[in-house]
Structure 1
Amino acid sequence: MGLTAQAAWWFLPAVIPIAIYVSWSDMSAMKITNKAVIALIIAYAILGLFAFPFQTYLWQWTHLAVMLVVGIMLNAGGVMGAGDAKFIAAASPMIMIADLRLIIVLLAAALIGAYVTHRLAMHSALRRMVPEWESWKTGKRFPMGFPLSMTLLFYLLIVATYR
């Protein structure tokens, strides 16, 4: 069984500002802060108690542990940044395994959309407005916090709206 609309509504008020902050901080400084990751974990710790039956709430914590280990390994292999790995782990308790297909589709769409948006913005007036942003300067590096946070946000919005 996938995430319910009711559960998604519980998480959305906390996830919206965190997702916006993560997108902004990763584009401006190429960092997903521990503060944002901790806020996401705290949001799940509190809101998950209302969103899920207690047994499901406890089980979802295993997602964090598994994804943290996978993320650490991917970070050690140079595949992703540490902030990306921590964000994925912190977001994972809010995602149901039954919704994995939806998450993959959303992540693919968010990656494409974020990449195109970022590259267009890099060659627009926005760059003149915020020339100090690190994501303009990094060349081959891309602020993955933007598509990762949007994936979580769109997942919750879609589930809240259509289930």
Structure 2
Amino acid sequence: MLGTTPQTASLVFLLLLAPVAFYVCWTDLRWMKIRNRTGLLVLAIFAVAGGLVLPPEIWAWRWLNAVVVLAIGFFLTVAAGVGAGDAKYAAAVAPFVAPAHAALLLPIFAAFLLGAFAAHRGLRALPVVRAATPDWVSWTRADFPMGLAISGTIVTYLALTAFPEQAAALLNR
């Protein structure tokens, strides 16, 4: 471990994970797919960077997050039709979240889920957007590209935990 603070760990995770999260948004919008190799890349980022910026016992226990979220995700895939790629991606980003922050993460996810759904449905109704992205599968499918909400959630969570003083100042205005 490099002797970092939790804020520094979150910043490192944010810088490494944000480009992958944006890629997930694009692939999910364009093809309605979150590729397995993308989830494996996310896990590799946590394996290497997490091992450098987190205490070993915290790093090791965070892997349990992935197992629990994967189990829940597979249940939701079978019972509620959640996409398998969405479930695997959610499990891959789960180790980046401190278990004590679950109460913070759930409202963020709910907000992103509602916002992303409304934005996606609104934008796909606009002819100019459809004309600019005519080959995007998500415009014609009934299901929703959940990678948008998962990516927005993890990036926002990491930003809030990387800059807690600034986040608190914004919330207290």
TM-score (norm 1): 0.93
Deviation at 1:76, TM superposition (A): 1.9
Q: Which residue of 1 aligns with 2:112?
A: 110
Question: What is the rounded CA distance, in whole Å, between the counterparts of 1:157 and 1:72 in structure 2?
Answer: 28
Match of 1:159, as an amino acid?
A: T
Identity over the aligned pairs, expressed in percent?
A: 34
CA–CA distance in structure 2, aligned partners of residues 113 and 72 of structure 1: 24
Q: Deviations over 1:76-128 (max 9, x none)?
A: 22431100110111011111111111111110110121112112211221211
Could you tell me which runs of 5 or more consecutive residues in structure 2 were left unpaired when the two chains were aligned.
166-173
The answer as to whether partners of 1:75 and 1:82 remain within 8 angstroms in 2 is: yes
How many Å separate the matches in 2 of 1:112 and 1:85?
Answer: 18
Structure 2 residue corresponding to 1:136, chosen from 115, 139, 142: 139
Match of 2:29 among 21, 27, 30: 27
2:94 paired residue among 89, 92, 100: 92
| Higher relative contact order (Cα pairs below 8 Å, separated by 6+ residues) | 1
Equivalent residue number for residue 76 of structure 1: 78
Structure 1 counterpart of 2:64: 62
Gaps of 5+ in 1: none
Q: Does 1:155 align with 2:157?
A: yes
Measure the CA separation in 2 of the matches of 1:79 and 1:59.
Answer: 29
- CA apart distance, 1:21: 0.6
Distance 2:100 2:64 in 1: 15
SS in 2 for 1:77: helix
How far is the alpha carbon of 1:51 from its aligned partner?
A: 2.1
Tell me the C-alpha RMSD between the 2 structures.
Answer: 1.4
